A and B are shown apart, each in its own frame.
Chain A
């Protein structure tokens, strides 16, 4: 089977790539486009390490065909900071030591951004349920939840441009 051409926008940049129809978005991001910030933890949609935004909606890149991104807007962890400014979620993850090994962190930050885009004032329970699709084995989630709460407060006080 031959490759097909896909035209998409990734982190605001027009991006064209060729892929086989059965290739996942995760494979293309990591292996073709070398955007390796999106991680593979399971390949079956159970761990959330490959969380990305597709037209602003949270999806697992491992469960999505790359060809489905044609004509859509993809946001990965590499597109969360603006220029040299970290997103408040990124800064709060650092301030709260909300990462240990850091491999789940890109997925958590992307998933948390999707949450705060939708609900600027989530309570602890909402955060915990929203992030239930992202596995972290190091932190026990405590500091992650606190970082998201703090980032939400920061974003409410200083809305992003």
Chain B
């Protein structure tokens, strides 16, 4: 493009501003804070997956020397119904409060039923043994079939299914049903030459962030609470704690630590409100850290799902109709990612006749949380496998079939809006010509390809740009830096301000020190908070120019900003030397500090499409799948710091490969997870993986000054089907249920 903008800093790869602290051990993460007089808080968790709590006796625990607080559900206030979660969360705050501390029922193995704060961890743990809970054990409901059965035991006896064509007449475990579509699918299938159907199951998996949830809370005698914690969204933590603990927003300050991964799993609260209640009771600071086992059992994994897909197509590959029925496990409370899962399932294709039905289903597992593109990996896995099966059936190249039906600018998305510029076709074309796609495969090897998609979001962000006396700049914004976002913010500020990247520090403000900023999630940070940083930079430039205009005694519009300096407008008849920030601040100290601000609601997030392809080799004696090559191609709109964009593509790819090949929660008949640790819940390790090759496509998003789309979530979507399609290609056997772990692959091969 001839009119491509010329950037000085955007697209470069400088060292991240917080880098040195993170390679030397200085950076402080959730569990790294301490306070004098600090107590240690621990949680008593239900040993049953489904039980009514008849009574809890904490008197013996309170009598133990060193135990200074014990709380149960009775100590928390009642939460009004119908308070929306906001942020990335699905569900209600009433349910969130019940999840934080069970009231009448324990709904999964590991559900919190009481908590203790004591002067040492050892004493706190001993006190848990002294708490007596009387349970009426109930039958656990551990899967979609059981949960949706007519006579299923009910998790919530009052739950009436929402979204049915006729109002529900009796309670069930199905919290809601949604339908969407267009055209006439029945006619579309009649018009088809080929109709294929398949049912695909994906298991419960965990985000697997390496840092367990940790927090430190202190409530003073005036009722003011301060919480240090690792979170993707400090403002959401403040909102949720306020509601769960019955405090005002202004009574809570949340200070986000560095965060050791989240992937959506740290967009909600588990221990933070508990630490507040314990601290309030004890009058001392309380620190809480989950163990890895607690993280598996009692944080928010991703939904297991079952997707039934039906596709009809003409012999030439034109898809005439697509139909889906997708059930998502919500865990113990309503709020699976049914909505985005249904909206994304067919988003990649421009098809006239669509019918999509979704179910949000309660089971006795931990309440699910967001996990990178929540809902899409499950549903699009199914779609992308069946599209590949269709390509085989029609004997059409899988890229050609996708290109023939691919969504493009001007088409209507299945969920309503008309696509603006999107990069799906560019990604498919790039895959076709990629050198990795030309590599000849050997016997026993296979290649699979799939498309990925995520909406990306914008919403509210704030930022400030402070000019220091020496002309250096401090940017303050509110998104915990989970993957290098400080670097992106500094690059964008440098680009706007025209000062060197190295002269910019980026700080993450706490809830008292910066304006409302929504969660680091939804692939929104570089897009939305980036826009706030750009706007705040422009604000500070405009103030600087106004100050210089006064000095030069000219109208403000006669001053321009160039290369980090105020300069006279071209053609202006004044002989003035350019003024840097340092000079402006020195000469205008009487006007106060030079601070730019922005707080905005970013609109026009650009949808992100990807194409991944994968080569595998399957050992037919053991069922083990080795990934030989993996290529991730994605439209980033504009890569602000390409290394961190590549990093998102690579990390998402490996999480998706883990989901495809190995990861799953294994439960026994009583609903107890059997693999609540990294030894048995096996995430990919370095020796499992090849290099992950990436290619960044840039179809700029017109709504962002530099063209940024979100990039973080799309990368996990395509790898599931890309890997599964490769295994099918290598073995000639289509296995529709994940994971493709050695025993599952072997069983499928043996069955042939």
Could you tell me which A residues sit within 8 Å of B by CB distance? 30-31, 34-44, 46-47, 49, 76-78, 80-81, 86, 90, 93-97, 99-106, 109, 124-125, 127-129, 131-146
Contacts and interface: CB of A to CB of B under 8 A. Distances in A.
Contacts of A124: 691
Contacts of B29: 36, 39, 103
A93 B482 CA distance: 16
B593 interface: no
Contacts of A132: 685-688
Contacts of B32: 30, 36
18 contacts: A36-B31, A41-B678, A44-B292, A77-B24, A94-B20, A100-B483, A101-B261, A101-B482, A103-B259, A105-B23, A128-B689, A137-B261, A139-B650, A140-B654, A140-B655, A141-B650, A141-B654, A142-B692
B589 interface: no
Contacts, number: 185
Given A100-B644, A101-B261, A47 B210 contact: yes
Interface residues of B, number: 59
A40 B289 CA distance: 10
Given A37-B26, A77-B25, A135-B683, A140 B651 contact: yes
A28 B210 CA distance: 21
A95 B648 CA distance: 16
Contact of A99 (B23, B31, B212): B23
B339 interface: no
B679 interface: yes
A65 to B, nearest CB: 15
Given A47-B678, A103-B29, A141 B686 contact: yes
A102 B482 CA distance: 8
Interface stretch (B11-19, B77-85, B145-153): B11-19
A144 B262 CA distance: 19
A130 B750 CA distance: 34
A143 B484 contact: no
Nearest to A103: B260
Given A77-B24, A97-B13, A101-B211, A138 B261 contact: yes
A41 B691 CA distance: 25
B22 interface: yes
Given A43-B291, A43-B292, A140 B678 contact: no
A131 B678 CA distance: 15
Interface string B218-232: 000000000000000
A143 B694 CA distance: 12
Nearest to B485: A100
- If over half of A's interface residues share one DSSP class (helix, strand or loop), that class is named, otherwise mixed; here it is loop
Contacts of B482: 100-101
Given A42-B678, A106-B25, A137-B655, A101 B687 contact: no
Contacts of B258: 101-103
A101 B646 CA distance: 15
Interface in B152-175: none
A1 B19 CA distance: 43
A140 B210 contact: no
Given A46-B679, A86-B24, A140-B651, A103 B292 contact: no
A101 B209 contact: yes
B643 interface: yes
B686 A46 contact: no
Query: What 6 pairs across the A-B complex have the smallest Cβ distances?
Result: A37-B25, A103-B260, A140-B654, A102-B22, A97-B643, A140-B650
Report which residue of B23, B31, B651 has the largest number of chain A beta carbons within 10 angstroms of its beta carbon. B23
A93 B484 CA distance: 13
Nearest to B691: A142
Interface string B326-363: 00000000000000000000000000000000000000
A101 B207 CA distance: 14
Contact of B647 (A37, A131, A139): A139
Nearest to B654: A140
B677 interface: yes
Given A36-B28, A101-B261, A96 B686 contact: no
A134 B686 CA distance: 8
B27 interface: yes
Nearest to A87: B23
Contacts of B15: 94-95
Contacts of A101: 209-211, 258-262, 482-483
Interface string B191-226: 000000000000000011111100000000000000
